[in-house]
Amino acid sequence: MGTRKQVAESAGVSEATVSRVFNGVTPMKESTRRRVLEAAEALGYTPSVIAQRFARGVSGTIGVVLPYVPKVHLFSTYYFSEILSGIGEAVRDNGHDLLLLFRSPSEDTDYEPLYKSQKVDGCIMLGASDRPDERKALQALARSGHPFCLVNQHYEGEQWNEVDADHVDGSYRLVKHLLACGHRRIAFLNGQAAYSNSRDRLKGYRLALAEAGVAIDESLLLEGNYSRTSGFAAARSIAGLRGAVDAVFAGNDRMAIGLMQGLRELGVKPGVDIAIAGYDDSDASRLTDPPLTTVHVPFFEMGRIAAERLFACTGRTEEALPPEKLATELIVRQSTALARPREAD
Amino acid sequence: MGTRKQVAESAGVSEATVSRVFNGVTPMKESTRRRVLEAAEALGYTPSVIAQRFARGVSGTIGVVLPYVPKVHLFSTYYFSEILSGIGEAVRDNGHDLLLLFRSPSEDTDYEPLYKSQKVDGCIMLGASDRPDERKALQALARSGHPFCLVNQHYEGEQWNEVDADHVDGSYRLVKHLLACGHRRIAFLNGQAAYSNSRDRLKGYRLALAEAGVAIDESLLLEGNYSRTSGFAAARSIAGLRGAVDAVFAGNDRMAIGLMQGLRELGVKPGVDIAIAGYDDSDASRLTDPPLTTVHVPFFEMGRIAAERLFACTGRTEEALPPEKLATELIVRQSTALARPREAD
DNA sequence: TTGTAGGCGTTATCAG
DNA sequence: CTGATAACGCCTACAA
């Protein structure tokens, strides 16, 4: 593997000219250009990306910050997988590098070093939540002008670069559908309130119920953590309310699936004794028995757009892109239309 | 954001000493050490990783080469997701960076630039297949001593760093199970032969059948490409053989699921009219109706081990780690025990 | 169109 | 234990 100096020598030019050829910036004589390229080819010379980055003072890399989720294979999760795929597509098209950044539970959140150490030029934050330390870390980032983009998370009171989906509307439509099916006592197994999308779903839920003149029964509001396990665990509470609950709206498909399994073990038949709805429209939602009614969220698109927004603002100082909010879509399947409707009260 | 020079000045030491403090290599007076650290803290100084890499001549990152799969969200695939999660875990524990490298169909395969340009210190190849250009690219890599590790792929005649699973045994056991269920005419919907794991499955299939004294009927050997769509398409062929086929062994769960959907549309009931078995033990295999009999493959572990092997050989020249082959495990569910056994011939 | 030379922030070697 | 001082490989004015 030859060095630039060797190439220069062999081609009878200066090292600077070799660089110019590889950067294709300055206009130059075609003959020298070819001579350099041939010499490089012969010597097996490849410019060092590291040195380029060093000299240019940029990393050419965008980082994807992944939350720490204990005992879960993150990529095996529809949510992260799709977003990451979308980011991957955009990043590849832009010729940047994609660095995966795993957050660890031990060290406290501080994104600044990533930028200051030039590891990344920008970051996309996945699974961010509104907890004091996270908010503070992002504020620091924003203050120092480091570009980043949030996906599926909104921070009240902040004007940050973000790509969200309309979960208020998605939930609203879903609950309206449940009501239309004749369900009145609709339990809501939500995720943690630290996520704006959880809060948005609750809004949609309340809105639909209020509109239908159905009073909210706070005892029907349960909280899980978006894991299958937490859905499974919730089955016990739901079963305890049996007869008092027509339907359950779970904040994501994973919880819905866990819930269905849990209910089944307790002798309650999902789709027969009780209606179940999920959220996300994951692959799995098509495979359950009965197939899950759910809400489609364009995660792939969201990832792609987040990356593109980052490219758009990297380099410039104007960081005032208006927040993006993509539409969601109700997907009706069989889990919400009870095969055997419960008897009239 | 202060510079090293400022820190040095503020702490009353030389720049070299500042570096030493941050590398914690040379023994030094605790007082100066603290003085430097304080100055750095006050000035908000962070060493530039880029400069470090440049100076050290290493990138500190390992790349994961991902195949180009048109129209598929790669990460939403159980196979890649799990392996990647495993790699991620190991990489995080080792303090390295994880760079995602998307192969593109246009440019021809050449991994050397990645190393020569110092983008990566080593690579893990996912979804590699035995095609001339790929083999050649890997040979070049091996020849020039660049460390890499293959996952779930073996190249006949090469002594490369690889982590594989025992697919011969997995398939053998699966087919034996099908035979034990009374199935005799067992179709095999395999993936492309360019993948060693496809060939291994065929071996296991042949072995089990031979051992049972069942002649191989070549007309029962179909080829898909591991996509759900290809499984769906195969349903037509299988249905055409109806009555002549007791069971179908699909090379992965995705194809099995597509096949089940396709058969159902053609009026053939999976698990009732015909037994179906998959491979991989993906999450989805638990959710189908009926649940899929399949073979568990420790993909997560394989990814983790691949990364660790890379760390083990990066830096050293001895690259003669013996290939690793992990055990697979038969998972029996309901899709292979026909509810309504076919009538005796 | 091309050459020259300074600088980028660290590491590492060598003195002291 | 600490301070100079060459590399490291490339980029980029500035000159010619």
pLDDT mean over A49-74: 89
Q: What does the block give as tokens for B319?
A: 């690259």
In this complex, the answer to whether residue A116 has its CB under 7 A from any atom of chain D, a nucleic strand, is no
Q: How confident is the model at residue B320 (pLDDT cuts 50, 70, 90)?
A: low
Q: What does the block give as tokens for A91?
A: 């990043």
Interchain pair A117, B49: CB under 8 A: yes
Residues of A with Cβ-Cβ distance to B80 under 8 angstroms = 75
Q: How confident is the model at residue B345 (pLDDT cuts 50, 70, 90)?
A: very low
Q: How confident is the model at residue A99 (pLDDT cuts 50, 70, 90)?
A: very high
Specify the pLDDT at position A341: 47
State the Cα angle at B220 between B225 and B342, rounded to 5°. 115
Specify the pLDDT at position A342: 46
Specify the pLDDT at position B49: 93
| Substitution target from A7, A80, A81 for chain B, most B beta carbons within 10 A | A81
Closest residue on chain B to A51 (Cα): B54
**Interacting residues of B251 by C-beta distance below 8 A, sequence separation 6+:** B188, B189, B190, B191, B198, B201, B224, B226, B279
Q: Which CATH number fits domain A167-297+330-336: 3.40.50.2300, 3.30.1280.10, 3.40.50.200, 1.10.3720.10?
A: 3.40.50.2300
Q: How far apart are CA B265 and CA B239, in angstroms?
A: 10
Looking at the DSSP bridge assignments, the partners of residue B189 are B222, B250
Where on strand C do bases come within 7 A of a protein Cβ? 1-5, 7-13
Q: Crossing angle of helices A228-240/A253-265, nearest 10°?
A: 50
Query: According to CATH, what is the number of the domain A61-165+299-326?
Result: 3.40.50.2300
Interchain pair A117, B44: CB under 8 A: no
Is residue B7 within 8 A of residue B36, CB to CB? The reply is yes
Q: What does the block give as tokens for A132?
A: 């004091």
Closest residue on chain A to B288 (Cα): A287
Q: How far apart are CA B62 and CA B16, in angstroms?
A: 29
pLDDT tens digits for range A66-92: 988 877 788 778 899 899 999 999 998
Sort strands A294-296 and A329-331 into parallel, antiparallel or unpaired: antiparallel
pLDDT mean over A283-312: 95
Q: How confident is the model at residue A2 (pLDDT cuts 50, 70, 90)?
A: confident
> How many Cβ atoms sit within 10 Å of the Cβ of residue B161?
23
Specify the pLDDT at position A86: 94
Residues of A with Cβ-Cβ distance to B81 under 8 angstroms = 73, 75-77, 81
Greater pLDDT, A172 or A241: A172
pLDDT over 50 (residue B315): yes
Chain B residues with CB within 8 Å of chain A CB: 1, 44, 46-51, 53-54, 57, 59, 61, 73-78, 80-82, 84-85, 88, 92, 97-100, 102, 104, 112-113, 116-119, 257, 283-284, 287-289, 300
Specify the pLDDT at position A179: 97
CA distance A345 to chain B (A): 34
Q: How confident is the model at residue B136 (pLDDT cuts 50, 70, 90)?
A: very high
pLDDT tens digits for range B79-96: 998 999 999 999 988 889
Domain spans, chain B: 4-56, 61-165+299-326, 167-297+330-336
- The fold adopted by the segment(s) B4-56 is 434 Repressor (Amino-terminal Domain) (1.10.260)
Q: CA A80 – C1' C16 distance (Å)?
A: 57
Q: How far apart are CA A296 and CA A3, in angstroms?
A: 53
Residues of B with Cβ-Cβ distance to A48 under 8 angstroms = 54, 116-118
Closest residue on chain A to B58 (Cα): A50
pLDDT over 70 (residue A344): no
Interchain pair A85, B97: CB under 8 A: no
Greater pLDDT, A29 or A150: A150
Greater pLDDT, A3 or A189: A189
- Domains B61-165+299-326 and B167-297+330-336 alike in fold: yes
pLDDT over 50 (residue B15): yes
Closest nucleotide (CA of A20 to C1')? D11
pLDDT over 60 (residue B343): no
Q: CA A19 – C1' D13 distance (Å)?
A: 15
Specify the pLDDT at position B319: 54
pLDDT tens digits for range B102-121: 887 777 789 998 998 889 99
Is residue A303 within 8 A of residue B75, CB to CB? The reply is no
Specify the pLDDT at position A237: 95
In this complex, the answer to whether residue B36 has its CB under 7 A from any atom of chain C, a nucleic strand, is no
pLDDT over 70 (residue A323): yes
CA distance B279 to chain A (A): 17
Q: How far apart are CA B184 and CA B163, in angstroms?
A: 33
Interchain pair B98, A97: CB under 8 A: no
CA distance B338 to chain A (A): 19
pLDDT over 70 (residue B191): yes
pLDDT over 60 (residue A316): no
pLDDT tens digits for range B19-68: 989 988 778 888 888 999 999 999 989 999 999 999 999 999 999 999 88
Q: Which amino acid is at B28?
A: M
pLDDT over 70 (residue B77): yes
Please, what is the average pLDDT of chain B? 91
Q: How far apart are CA A63 and CA A75, in angstroms?
A: 16
Q: How confident is the model at residue A102 (pLDDT cuts 50, 70, 90)?
A: confident
Q: CA A93 – C1' D7 distance (Å)?
A: 37
Closest nucleotide (CA of B45 to C1')? C9
Specify the pLDDT at position B226: 95
Please, what is the average pLDDT of chain A? 91
**Interacting residues of B302 by C-beta distance below 8 A, sequence separation 6+:** B83, B86, B151, B152, B163, B164, B165, B326
Q: Percent of chain A, pLDDT > 70?
A: 96
In this complex, the answer to whether residue B48 has its CB under 7 A from any atom of chain C, a nucleic strand, is yes
Interchain pair A81, B75: CB under 8 A: yes
Interchain pair B117, A50: CB under 8 A: yes
